[in-house]
Amino acid sequence: MHALMKNDLAGGYLPSAHFGANSTWWAIMILAFNLNPLMKHMVLPEDWKSKRLKAVRHTCSVGL
């Protein structure tokens, strides 16, 4: 879990020196982390459910 938050969702660094901005950044990252499995379960085909967020993001953006 830690590696996913740190690497895939940019949780490894904070964007600001301000506590409020960093707190908001962290909250959005946690929201995205929690919505990812829900999206995989409800939207993606069966063979995509085991892929990491980074793989889904890069594969889907090619077709746009």
14 DSSP 8-state letter:
-
pLDDT in tens, 1-48: 767 777 777 777 788 899 999 999 889 988 988 888 888 888 888 888
Cα 17 from chain centre: 22
pLDDT at 18: 93
- Reduced to 3 states, what is the DSSP secondary structure of residue 33? helix
pTM score over 0.85: no
Sequence ranges of the domains in the chain: 2-62
Q: What is the identity of the amino acid at 14?
A: L
1 DSSP 8-state letter:
-
